[in-house]
Structure 1
Amino acid sequence: MSESSTKTNGTDGAQLKGQLGQVLLATVASTFGFWAWMLIAPMQKTYADELGLDEGQISLMLATPVLVGALGRIVVGALTDRFGGRKMFAAVLLISAPAVLLVALAGEIKSFPLLVVSGFYLGVAGTIFAVGIPFSSAWYEPKRRGFANGVFGMGMIGTAVSAFFTPRLAESIGYLPTHFVVAGSLVLMAVIVWFFLRDSPAWEPSRQPLIPKVTGALKLRITWEMAFLYGIVFGGFVAFSTFLPKYLTTIYPDDVDAVGAGTRTAMFAVAAVVARPIGGALSDRVGPKVISLISLAGIVSLAYIVGQQPPEGILTGATFIAMAAAMGLGMGAVFAWIGPSTPKDKVGAVTGVVAAAGGLGGYFPPLVMGATYNAETNSYALGLWLLVIVGAVALVVAGMLRDARPGSDS
């Protein structure tokens, strides 16, 4: 057991006083980061109409922020081990603000190349997740880290905030002012984080250089196992959060407009957000393997139903919400699995790699959906069948993995 692990286990409740408040503040910070990260998706129909984009261009526009947000998590997770959550939260929020303004400029001058470039930059906001997991883990004893990471994971409610509020703000106050509001919120949140967030007394900075630290994480078996599972559960969530407005307005053009699609996407995100801490807490009790299996079984069966393209209505809405909840349970389970299975000095690096895998899992589906869209039948069935197949493989893999013992530590 490492020195930092010993300190973590030896930190008493008095030293960890205020732990929930700190994790909740980190969750709020993450919410704003996710809002910025998913800023383009709710406006995709506006960009498509005004810039005359085809299916491939729309898919590229939606996928680019996801790619950068995914790969950047590897670096940000390792840097969090070195500099701590307070500094990294503030840095990510401040660096993301200009990206929001660049997106606004791209839309204002109707430049697709600039929109892709600004979307690339906007991906920085998505790396905020890799800051919060090691930050939250350090505030709680090992047996409650599933709960802590589940609470922090609720920051992905920012996807719902973005889907619900972005198109409405654009309609009410205008396109440019909407982006000014988001950019200003990021800066304000960075200031709040700097003055009120503090790293856990159980946390110790890692002085190991970045590349060896990431390489060390890649040598751990748990990193690859959890990266694969998280690529399905979180990747599916990101993919649907990004592509769902496009999917709904394409498949149900007479029933769903841009605002309605945003509302449905927000409900999808909320269901996943609510389920995530439940998945973490249940994993602390019964083990993350059981919860992961339930999650993956739900994703596979519900993706099959969506692939049948039922009429827009209660069944469709309930199916998407149930799928989101299944994904949320899985997200909570995966990070509850990482906690007791990873050396404490590598939590940030492993978190970064696994979180990156989740983001990459969300990068490819929009591209695949665009490439496999059948215009003659107005169907994305082939892309959804691929999700069913990959989810079934993940279900088998998860069944073969060794469970983490609730409350154990490395």
Structure 2
Amino acid sequence: MESKGKSYLALTMGTLAMMVCFMVWLCLSPLLDVILKNAGVQVSEFQRTFLLATPILLGSIMRIPMGIVSDRWGGKKTYIALMIFLIIPVLMMPRVHSYGMLIFTALLLGMAGTSFAIGVSYVTGFFPPEKQGLVLGIVAVGNIGTAFSVFFLPRLIKVMSLNGIFYLLVALLVLFTLLMLICPESKPNKDSTLGKSLSVAKEKDTWFLALFYFLTFGLFMSWSNLLPTFMSGLYSQSLVDAGIWAAVFAVIGTLLRPVGGYISDKVRPMTLLKYDFIGLIVVAIVLGIFLQSQGVFSTMIVLMGILVGVGNGIIFKMVPFVSSGNTGAVTGFVGAMGGLGGYFPPIVLGIIKQSTGGYSIGLYLIAVVAIICLVLLQKEYITGAHKIVK
């Protein structure tokens, strides 16, 4: 075990570095109209939502290998390498002038999403097992970087050029790269391999948790990403006002995650998750029915933020019980699937909007996925003989 000072420094910097990376990961959402105008590109609704979803793709599928690199090489070195790499697409974004290059650059930006796996791998090594739950809750606060993007960037674009915004992001990446140099390095684990990490896919419970997290974290990521587009398109709100709602959603979803984990220590997690899924089903249906009412929409978005935040915490409470001694691998696998859950909704909603002229069917599909999760949860863990925790 490291000294308390080194442990707390690693926890603080690992969390703050994740915040910066998550700012980069979702920087397209609040700036998309400005970026498209700057590039001189006209896009369809599908192309627009596909571009928004693209960073989520690489940030999700690369979580497992980047977690392994962090385990084997050391989290500090991996964080530094990631932030240096991210400078490249950040500098590219305001300089590209075709849709194809926007997609390519957005894909590279997606590497920022792997900071979650790196941060968890880096920080947890400094604390004993009995503190891992609290530490994971604190590290997850790094997700609040999504709220910083959607809240601050629309305001900054009013007083800065697009180049200036991305130079600011570069400055943050450089600053935290330098700050990471003074942090202690985590102890490398040379036994960490891709084969071992993917071996947890043999466990049925891993897939159930992955599906559940696909729903809850996927909704957190996709709505953090889509809300500026929804609020400005449906209700003609300014980017600044739309960004406030996106930030509120992201903050609620982030801060209530540890609450979900804490409550799960007191009440059986699967019972909590049952009511969480029921709540998501109701919210999605109400959103679909009353989509034209801004008041109802705003209320439901707050409720959804609460439900996905608590749900994320509940699900990660279950992770250590799935594959004893291989918690990191399960975390990486489930986390990657959750990230992919944030990739598909924007694309599906874009297709539906382009085909039908509205989003309602897409919202009902969210309810369908939640119903599937609820049925499987009930069958496997509540009425069934199989249990993860008692």
TM-score normalized with structure 2 length? 0.90
Letter in 1 for 2:87: A
SS in 1 for 2:182: helix
Tell me the distance in 2 between the aligned counterparts of 1:372 and 1:220.
Answer: 35
After TM superposition, give the deviation of residue 80 of structure 1 in Å: 2.2
After TM superposition, give the deviation of residue 372 of structure 1 in Å: 0.7
Residue 29 in 1 paired to residue 21 in 2? no
Tell me the distance in 2 between the aligned counterparts of 1:403 and 1:275.
Answer: 25
Q: Is 217-226 or 137-146 further displaced after alignment? A: 137-146
For 1:228-243, what aligned pairs fall within 5 Å after superposition? Answer: 228-243=211-226
Tell me the distance in 2 between the aligned counterparts of 1:296 and 1:350.
Answer: 22
Deviations 1:87-140 (A, max 9, x none): 22222222112111111212xxx3221111100110110111111223344344
Aligned to 2:320: 339
> Does the 8 Å CA contact 2:57/2:339 hold for their aligned counterparts?
yes
Pick one of 326, 329, 335 that aligns with 1:355.
335
Aligned to 1:212: 195
Residue 285 in 1 paired to residue 269 in 2? no
* Contiguous gaps of at least 5 residues in structure 2: none
Q: CA RMSD in A?
A: 2.3
Aligned to 2:204: 221
Aligned to 1:7: none
Aligned to 1:91: 81
Aligned to 2:132: 145
After TM superposition, give the deviation of residue 258 of structure 1 in Å: 1.7
For 1:240-259, what aligned pairs fall within 5 Å after superposition? Answer: 240-253=223-236, 256-259=237-240
Tell me the distance in 2 between the aligned counterparts of 1:298 and 1:218.
Answer: 29
> Does the 8 Å CA contact 2:235/2:294 hold for their aligned counterparts?
no
Letter in 1 for 2:23: W
Letter in 2 for 1:59: T
> Does the 8 Å CA contact 2:77/2:185 hold for their aligned counterparts?
no
TM-score normalized with structure 1 length? 0.86
Tell me the distance in 1 between the aligned counterparts of 2:317 and 2:74.
Answer: 21
Deviations 1:207-255 (A, max 9, x none): 24x33223323223332222111111111111111111112222212xx
SS in 1 for 2:190: coil
Tell me the distance in 1 between the aligned counterparts of 2:377 and 2:180.
Answer: 37
Deviations 1:288-312 (A, max 9, x none): 3233333322222211221123455
SS in 2 for 1:122: helix
> Does the 8 Å CA contact 2:6/2:184 hold for their aligned counterparts?
no
> Does the 8 Å CA contact 1:159/1:266 hold for their aligned counterparts?
yes
Tell me the distance in 1 between the aligned counterparts of 2:388 and 2:137.
Answer: 16
Tell me the distance in 2 between the aligned counterparts of 1:164 and 1:403.
Answer: 42
Distance 1:95 1:222, change over 3 A: farther
After TM superposition, give the deviation of residue 21 of structure 1 in Å: 4.8
Aligned to 1:397: 376
For 1:5-404, what aligned pairs fall within 5 Å after superposition? Answer: 19-48=7-36, 50-106=40-96, 110-199=97-186, 205-208=189-192, 210-253=193-236, 256-344=237-325, 346-373=326-353, 378-399=357-378, 400-401=380-381, 404=388
Tell me the distance in 2 between the aligned counterparts of 1:35 and 1:151.
Answer: 17
* Contiguous gaps of at least 5 residues in structure 1: 1-10
SS in 2 for 1:171: coil
SS in 1 for 2:271: helix
After TM superposition, give the deviation of residue 405 of structure 1 in Å: 4.3
Q: Is 112-121 or 241-250 further displaced after alignment? A: 241-250
After TM superposition, give the deviation of residue 204 of structure 1 in Å: 5.5
Tell me the distance in 1 between the aligned counterparts of 2:165 and 2:319.
Answer: 38
Tell me the distance in 2 between the aligned counterparts of 1:87 and 1:287.
Answer: 39
> Does the 8 Å CA contact 1:48/1:58 hold for their aligned counterparts?
no
Tell me the distance in 1 between the aligned counterparts of 2:277 and 2:6.
Answer: 35
Tell me the distance in 1 between the aligned counterparts of 2:184 and 2:241.
Answer: 36
Deviations 1:46-77 (A, max 9, x none): 34555221111101211111111111112112
After TM superposition, give the deviation of residue 383 of structure 1 in Å: 0.5
Aligned residues: 383
Distance 1:350 1:323, change over 3 A: same
SS in 1 for 2:157: helix
Tell me the distance in 2 between the aligned counterparts of 1:220 and 1:87.
Answer: 32
Q: Is 119-128 or 51-60 further displaced after alignment? A: 51-60
After TM superposition, give the deviation of residue 19 of structure 1 in Å: 4.3
SS in 1 for 2:158: helix
Tell me the distance in 1 between the aligned counterparts of 2:273 and 2:123.
Answer: 21
SS in 2 for 1:51: coil
